[in-house]
Amino acid sequence: MTTNEVIDLLNHARVLELVAITQYMNHYYRVKGSTYEEAQEIFKSAAMMEMKHAEVLAERINLLGGDPLSDLNKVMQHYGKALSFPDDVNEMMKVDLSLEHTAINEYTSAIAKVANTDPVTRRLFEEILEVEEGHADSFASYLGEKAAFELQEFKKYQAAA
């Protein structure tokens, strides 16, 4: 794998992180009231971790001589689909869980692609993957096991595991 291909993988991961930040913070800001304090904390803490991921990915891209994707228009063009902002808290959790499963699948694939070509990037992806799995667990726990298993993406993820 060439350095440019690694940079492309890193930028793709950065896009997923930037999308997650935007979606999770939107959900955090829109959920109001003491009834939803747990949901607010899940959204906010996940978004903050995604910000850290976006930063370390950008630092790695810079170190490898690339340019981190930052322009929102280019980020959304790369992402290729609209963000999801439902009104119901459980629906917010479901779309966020789905986004986490996408990230889990993407990081798992990126780890395999990088393999032994770039052990530093591989470790970075592995560390982020571990956190993404924790986020998925937080969203799924909030929903309860039955609701989490109703998601098609979750079924695909479980089948692949």
Encode pLDDT of 39-88 as tens digits. Answer: 999 999 999 999 999 999 999 999 999 999 998 888 888 888 888 889 99
10 pLDDT band (50/70/90 cuts)? very high
Q: Which of 101, 81, 106, 99 is nearest to 27 (CA)?
A: 99
146 pLDDT band (50/70/90 cuts)? low
pTM of the full predicted structure?
Answer: 0.87
Please give the Cα distance from 54 to 43 (Å, whole number): 16
Q: Which two tokens stand for residue 54?
A: 């976006």
Sequence-distant (6+) residues with CB within 8 A of 120 are: 60
Compute the average pLDDT of residues 4-32. Answer: 96
**Residue-number span of the structural domain to which 29 is assigned:** 3-160
Question: Identity (one letter) of the amino acid at 144?
Answer: G
Give the position of tokens 């930028």: 11
How many domains does the structure of the chain reveal?
1
> Where residue 15 sits, what CATH number does that domain have?
1.20.1260.10
144 pLDDT band (50/70/90 cuts)? confident
Sequence-distant (6+) residues with CB within 8 A of 129 are: 104, 107, 108, 111
pLDDT for 78 equals 87
Sequence-distant (6+) residues with CB within 8 A of 114 are: 1, 6, 9, 121, 122, 125
Please give the Cα distance from 156 to 161 (Å, whole number): 9
Q: Which long-range contacts (CB under 8 A, 24 or more apart) does 102-105 make?
A: 102/16, 102/153, 103/16, 103/17, 103/20, 103/132, 104/129, 104/132, 104/133, 104/136, 104/157, 105/157, 105/160
* Average pLDDT value over all residues in the chain: 90
